Chains A and B, each alone.
Chain A
């Protein structure tokens, strides 16, 4: 299984994502510059965290027009896996691959801590190695992670089981319905504010992010009989 980690000018969690794939799965993973125009050789595409284009104008607004995003859209439409973490999540909402928008944290502070999350949907390609309702500890680090959707869209998300992670206990940013991560209707595009790639070894403070990566691989193997 081949992974691509897209590098935008300003990405700063790209290497973390590469290391997580290497350390947890040992599968091939490449850093791909955002000018790339062919992602057909990759099975899973990671849009990493960071500050693409310095977050000028709005988080993710400019990255959305990077040439590679056309390919990301194609991959998503083909049913290949796309995961956007933090700034990657912001890019996915700006590009319309996921509904909603990320606002400033309601308390206006940048929040950096390990946050407990509930796995609300353990039936996605990204979460099948978790248990439904399991509480996991994953770091967050964001100033604009306050997920917003209007009521109508929220109802759709709830009805389609698209809410994948919710904050458990304290909501660190004021997001609607305590949402920490959602997927698209087909389930192959995931966006989340917390950083699973920073939680893959106990010495990092938590290894609860590993199951996200093992889920992805197991899903791919079953699909491809590998």
Chain B
């Protein structure tokens, strides 16, 4: 069994209103060193295979097809055996 941990974030060129709101809140709390906050999604997808290459291909396909809107979002993932 392989577990894919997928991070989806808005592309750097796309304004992240949630991130901006949280940046402002952190500043209001005195965390002036905060430069920027980006908020994304974290997904865990468990796939029933032990072949890393297959898992990588399938997860990439899932991301491109459904999990990520590649017009505005980018993604990374890491695979671990579980």
On chain B, the residues within 8 Å of A108 by CB distance are 17-18, 21
The reply to whether B72 and A104 form a contact with Cβ atoms under 8 Å apart is no
Interface residues of B in 24-82 (CB under 8 A from A): 66-67, 69, 71-72
User: CB within 8 Å of B: which of A165-191?
Assistant: 174
Residues in chain B near residue A10, CB distance under 8 A: none
Q: How would residues 77 to 106 of chain A score, 1 for a CB under 8 Å from any chain B CB and 0 otherwise?
A: 000000000000000011000011101111
* 9-residue interface stretch from A57-65, A112-120, A134-142: A57-65
Query: In the complex the two chains form, is A148's CB within 8 Å of B17's CB?
Result: no
Interface string of B1-22 (1 = CB under 8 A from A): 0000000001001110110010
Q: Which residue on chain B has the smallest CB distance to residue A146?
A: B17
A57: which B residues are within 8 A, CB to CB? Answer: 66-67
Q: Which residues of B contact A62 (CB under 8 A)?
A: 66
Interface size of A by CB at 8 A reads 21
Contacts of B13 in A (CB 8 A): 150
Give the distance in Å from the alpha carbon of A106 to the alpha carbon of B17 in the complex: 5
Is the CB of A2 closer than 8 A to any CB of chain B? no
Closest residue on chain A to residue B66 by CB atoms: A61
Contact A61 B17 (CB under 8 A): no
Does A35 touch B at the CB level, under 8 Å? no
Q: How far is the CA of A45 from the CA of B71 in the complex (A)?
A: 25
Q: Which residues of A contact B67 (CB under 8 A)?
A: 57
Chain B: residues with CB nearer than 8 A to chain A? 10, 13-15, 17-18, 21, 66-67, 69, 71-72
Which residues of A are in contact with B by a Cβ distance under 8 Å? 57-58, 61-62, 65, 93-94, 99-101, 103-108, 146, 148-150, 174
